[in-house]
Amino acid sequence: MPDPTILPAAAPDAMPGLLAALVAEQDREAAAWLETAVATPPLPGTAEFMRLFAIAGRKPAGTAPPGWPPARLARAALLAASVHAAGDEAPARLATAFRRSDSAERAAILQSLMLLPDPARFADLAADACRSSVQPVFEAIACDNRYPAAHFAEPVFNQMVLKAVITGAPLARVVGLAERTTAQLRRMAADFRDERRASNRPVPADLEFLLELGN
């Protein structure tokens, strides 16, 4: 089964169908429910969207691509259809949906960002999510997700990487880290290492890994 984050480029209105096809490989009953839901999708953040988004989290059972909990595929399909329907209102409406979501739903939104039409529009939401103190929410944007490498400005990306080190999110799962590592990021990492050593605190192994990138 292909990783949905590397699906071939598709028109925005085709992405829900591609995701639904992945769901169908796992659970045809769930796929039938999803087909009905995305046919006339509610706008993100509305009460009907939140209701369907919650239900989608219980569909389907089975396997999924690495890094993707099975139910997130259904949520990603519903989200892609709803964001496409929202047009220019999508950033504001998705921000509303994010605020109204629980932690699992927020993680699904973040992991799905690269599958949405014109994903660069959601950079502010993704950057704000990096401040989350809920580890699964932070890891949904920081780990196994192409969005930060593709759309984060350098300061935002650097802060995300350092937070990953601090919180124990594996840097090996930060997509595009080698390509986005700059001299500034290495300086920040070196300063953090020196602070840890000065206070006789252990230096995280991933910090040394980061400092070796590009050397």
Pair 58, 27 in one domain: yes
Judged by average pLDDT, the poorest of 6-15, 70-79, 106-115, 128-137 is: 6-15
Residue in 3, 1, 73 with CA at minimum distance from that of residue 38: 73
Pair 151, 47 in one domain: no
How much is the pLDDT for 11? 55
Pair 88, 1 in one domain: yes
How much is the pLDDT for 12? 56
Q: Given 121, 145, 169, which residue is the final one in a domain?
A: 121
Total structural domains in the chain?
2
Distance CA 67, CA 123 (A): 21
Kindly tell me if the per-residue pLDDT of 9 is higher than 60: no
Residue in 115, 57, 126 with CA at minimum distance from that of residue 91: 126
Virtual torsion, Cα 86, 155, 167, 202, nearest 10 deg: 170
Q: Given 54, 88, 121, which residue is the final one in a domain?
A: 121
Pair 100, 134 in one domain: no
Kindly tell me if the per-residue pLDDT of 212 is higher than 70: yes
Pair 170, 102 in one domain: no
Q: What's the whole-number mean pLDDT along residues 146-173?
A: 96
pLDDT band of residue 92 (cuts 50, 70, 90) is very high
Q: Given 95, 121, 147, which residue is the final one in a domain?
A: 121
Pair 93, 153 in one domain: no
- Residue 143 is given by DSSP the state S
pLDDT band of residue 2 (cuts 50, 70, 90) is low
Kindly tell me if the per-residue pLDDT of 7 is higher than 70: no
Pair 114, 149 in one domain: no
Pair 89, 5 in one domain: yes
Q: Is the dihedral of CA 19, 21, 24, 26 positive or negative?
A: negative
Pair 135, 200 in one domain: yes
For residue 210, the enclosing domain spans 130-215
Pair 39, 6 in one domain: yes
Pair 14, 115 in one domain: yes
Buried b (16+ CB within 10 A) or exposed e, 9-46: eeebeebbebbbebbbebbeebbebbeebbeebbbbbb
How much is the pLDDT for 60? 66
Pair 91, 134 in one domain: no
How much is the pLDDT for 215? 62
